[in-house]
Amino acid sequence: MASVNEQIVRDYLEMQGFLVRQPRKYQIVARAKGANEEVDFLAVNPSAGAGGELPEAGVWGARELSRVGAALVAVRGWHSERFTAQMLAKSPDVYRFAEAESARAAEAELGGRSAARVLCLGSLPGDAAQRAEAVAFLKSRGVDGVLLFRPMLLELAARIDGKKSYEKSDVLQLLRILKAHGMLRTGQMDLFAGRRRWGTGVGKAGGTSESTGVAETTGTTGTTGTDGTTGTVEAVAVEEAVAEQAPLEPEAAE
C-alpha cells in the first residue's frame, strides 16, 4: 500500500500539472540508502519553460512550482516535529537527497536535465527567526524549496468537488467524503472554534475573514477565494500556515 504522505504529495504535484514518477517501489530496511535511492519522486512540469530561473529558496507553493520545469522530491512526513536548524543539523537523512551525488543519480534518470531539489516537511518553527534559520540551513545543504503538508492539504481540500467520486486516489476520496458530510471546513483543517479562518470556512454570508480579507460564504464545501488555477487558498496558506502552527491558546484548546 502506498505511503499516505507520498500520496498527498503526488496528488498535490499532479494538481499543479506535474508528471510524477516514483523511481523506487521497494522499502529499504536494515541498510543505508544508496545515492540513487534518496529521491522519492521525479517530477516534470510540461507547462514550465525549460532552463528558467528557479524561485528564491524558501517555503514554496503553487506560484513557485509553476516556474519549476523539473524537480527531485523527497517526502519527510514526520508530522510530530517542527524542524529547527539545530534539529536538521542532527538529521542529515532529511536533506541527503539534495547532496551532489544523490542529485546527479536522480537527474540522470531525467536524461541529465537539471532539476530543483524540493523537500516536503510536516512543519517548520512558528518563530519567524527560527524559520528563516531553518530555511537558510536547508538552502546551504542544496535544498531549493520546501513544501509544507498543511498548505498542500488546504489546497487539495479547496479544489475537491464534493459531488465527484475520486476512486483513483484514497487521499482525495477521503477529503471528498469529509467535505461532503460537513466534517471538513475548507481551508480550516482543525476542529477548534475561535481559530483563524482561512477564507473559505463556515461563516456569516457575505462576511470577511479577519485574517485573510477573503470573503466567506455559508457552508462547508465552498471554494471562495480560489480561481481554480493558481490556488488563492494555497497562496494564503503558504503565507500563514507556519504562523498558524503556534501552540493553541488555552481557551482555544478547550
Instruction: Residue 173: count other Cβ atoms within 10 Å of its Cβ.
Output: 15
pLDDT at 239: 54
pLDDT at 234: 53
pTM > 0.85: no
Question: pLDDT, tens digit, for every residue of 104-133?
Answer: 999 999 999 999 999 999 999 999 999 999
For the ranges 85-94, 158-167, 228-237, the lowest mean pLDDT is seen at: 228-237
If you average pLDDT over every residue of the chain, what do you get? 79
- Identify whether the C-beta of residue 228 lies closer than 8 Å to the C-beta of residue 159: yes
* Domain ranges within the chain, ordered by starting residue: 4-151, 153-253
Q: What type of residue sits at position 137?
A: F
Mean pLDDT of 169-184: 90
- 91 pLDDT above the threshold of 60: yes
- DSSP string computed for 8-55: HHHHHHHHTT-EEE-S--SPP-SSPPPGGGS-SEEEE-TTSPTTPPPP
Q: How far, in whole angstroms, is CA 62 from its chain's centroid?
A: 9
Q: Which three cell numbers stand for residue 243?
A: 504562523
